[in-house]
């Protein structure tokens, strides 16, 4: 059995070494684990990612390169398109796995017959371990309505099979952020998501090049994902009502922020764009 791990990277030469090494250090079923394919997708980096990885001489590692930066969605899609594994996993370049992650996760995943599942994680912020808030607790099963409010699936923690990806993917390159929020909502109208409660991933945050810190107004992209969901997906009546409620809530927050920061034109643009849902009868 082959497991393909896709790691997108843009100008993180030091972090990518840690991420790749953490995958190559997996143990459990085999020691060392031979059934691995590690696909590093260099998304147009200006730093020398191949040079940084030169010291890793392992045939299980392949480097794919975009000539220009296309964003994390395109990078993940590139890796997943060429991946050969029966199972597919993701890892962000600033995160890393514990050595037993893959063996423990696969055992849980296969025992439950899941199409997609995730593990728990350890949060690291500015170099220190922190505890997530109660609202960030990861559920198991069908939790579409909870996932509308905030992203409850971590890319670095997921494992899924090839048929799942062919059915639900790809990531949307039109979304510069919240692309995972979009994909997980499309997931949860089709499949339950398993949760292995062991903390097997280190998830970092708070550093200057983190996408959520570089992009202002992330709710705009969540709104875009919700509109896309309403326009393109087959939703039950309850799912549609829940989506419209959450779209209205996020729109109110975003419009209020626009007015607070003296951007009335943007507020009016959003009101006009969302008028079919904002002006429809109350849910």
Q: What is the pLDDT of residue 213?
A: 47
pLDDT in tens, 117-157: 999 999 999 889 999 899 999 999 999 999 999 999 999 99
- The answer to whether residues 165 and 209 belong to one domain is yes
Residue 181 within any structural domain of the chain: yes
Residue 113 within any structural domain of the chain: yes
Residue 242 within any structural domain of the chain: yes
Residue pair 41/6 in contact by the 8 Å Cβ criterion? yes
Q: What is the pLDDT of residue 281?
A: 63
- The answer to whether residues 131 and 243 belong to one domain is no
Q: How many structural domains are present in the chain? A: 2
User: Last residue of some domain: 213, 241, 269?
Assistant: 213
Query: Among the listed ranges 165-179, 183-197, 211-225, 228-242, which one has the minimum average pLDDT value?
Result: 211-225
Q: What is the pLDDT of residue 28?
A: 79
Residue pair 164/80 in contact by the 8 Å Cβ criterion? no
pLDDT in tens, 16-59: 999 999 999 999 765 556 799 999 999 999 888 878 888 888 99
Q: What is the pLDDT of residue 29?
A: 62
Assess whether the previous peptide bond of 130 is cis (omega < 30° from 0): no
Query: Among the listed ranges 83-97, 152-166, 193-207, 237-251, which one has the minimum average pLDDT value?
Result: 193-207
Residue 236 within any structural domain of the chain: yes
CA distances from 232 to 67, 166, 182, 228, 229 (A): 31, 17, 12, 6, 5
- The answer to whether residues 30 and 142 belong to one domain is yes
Helix axes 264-273, 218-232, angle to 10 degrees: 10
- The answer to whether residues 147 and 182 belong to one domain is yes
Residue pair 119/201 in contact by the 8 Å Cβ criterion? yes
Strand ranges in the chain using DSSP code E only, listed in sequence order: 3-9, 36-43, 61-66, 87-90, 96-97, 116-125, 128-130, 158-161, 194-205
Residue 283 within any structural domain of the chain: no
pLDDT at 188 over 70: yes
Query: Among the listed ranges 7-21, 56-70, 268-282, which one has the minimum average pLDDT value?
Result: 268-282
- The answer to whether residues 201 and 222 belong to one domain is no
Domain coverage including residue 241: 218-278
- The answer to whether residues 208 and 224 belong to one domain is no
User: Last residue of some domain: 162, 192, 213?
Assistant: 213
Average pLDDT score, the chain: 92
- The answer to whether residues 132 and 243 belong to one domain is no
Strands 3-9 and 36-43, bridge-based pairing: parallel
- The answer to whether residues 29 and 46 belong to one domain is yes
Q: What is the pLDDT of residue 14?
A: 83
pLDDT in tens, 203-261: 998 656 555 544 457 899 999 999 999 999 999 999 999 999 999 999 999 999 999 99
Residue 183 within any structural domain of the chain: yes
User: Last residue of some domain: 161, 195, 213?
Assistant: 213
- The answer to whether residues 204 and 226 belong to one domain is no
- The answer to whether residues 99 and 204 belong to one domain is yes
Phi, psi for residue 196 in degrees, rounded to 5: -85, 115
Residue 75 within any structural domain of the chain: yes
pLDDT at 178 over 60: yes
The CATH number of residue 146's host domain is: 3.90.550.10
- The answer to whether residues 167 and 246 belong to one domain is no
- The answer to whether residues 43 and 70 belong to one domain is yes
Segment 3-15 shows an average pLDDT of 93
Residue 26 within any structural domain of the chain: yes
């Amino acid at each position: 059995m082959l497991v393909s791990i896709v790691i997108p990277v843009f100008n993180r030469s030091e972090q990518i070494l840690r991420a790749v090494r953490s995958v190559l250090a997996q143990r459990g079923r085999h020691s060392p684990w031979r059934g691995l394919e590690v696909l590093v997708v260099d998304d147009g980096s200006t730093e020398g990612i191949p040079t940084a990885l030169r010291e890793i001489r392992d045939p299980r590692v392949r480097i794919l390169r975009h000539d220009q930066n296309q964003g994390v969605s395109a990078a993940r899609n590139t890796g997943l398109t060429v991946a050969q594994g029966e199972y597919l996993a993701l890892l962000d370049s600033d995160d890393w796995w514990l050595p037993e992650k893959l063996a423990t996760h696969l055992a849980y995943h296969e025992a439950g017959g899941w199409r997609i599942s995730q593990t728990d994680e350890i949060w690291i912020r500015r170099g220190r371990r922190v505890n997530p808030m109660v609202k960030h607790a990861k559920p198991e099963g069908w939790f579409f309505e909870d996932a509308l409010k905030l992203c409850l699936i971590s890319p670095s923690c997921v494992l899924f099979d090839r048929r799942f990806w062919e059915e639900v993917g790809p990531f949307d390159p039109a979304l510069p952020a919240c692309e995972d929020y979009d994909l997980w909502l499309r997931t949860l109208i089709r499949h339950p998501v398993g949760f292995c409660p062991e903390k097997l991933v280190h998830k970092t945050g708070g550093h200057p090049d983190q996408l959520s810190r570089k992009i202002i107004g992330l709710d705009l992209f969540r709104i875009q994902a919700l509109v896309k969901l309403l326009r393109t997906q087959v939703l039950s009546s309850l799912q549609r009502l829940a989506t419209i409620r959450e779209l209205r809530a996020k729109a109110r927050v975003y419009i209020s922020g626009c007015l607070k920061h003296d951007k009335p034109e943007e507020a009016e643009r959003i009101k006009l764009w969302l008028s079919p849902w904002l002006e429809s009868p109350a849910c």
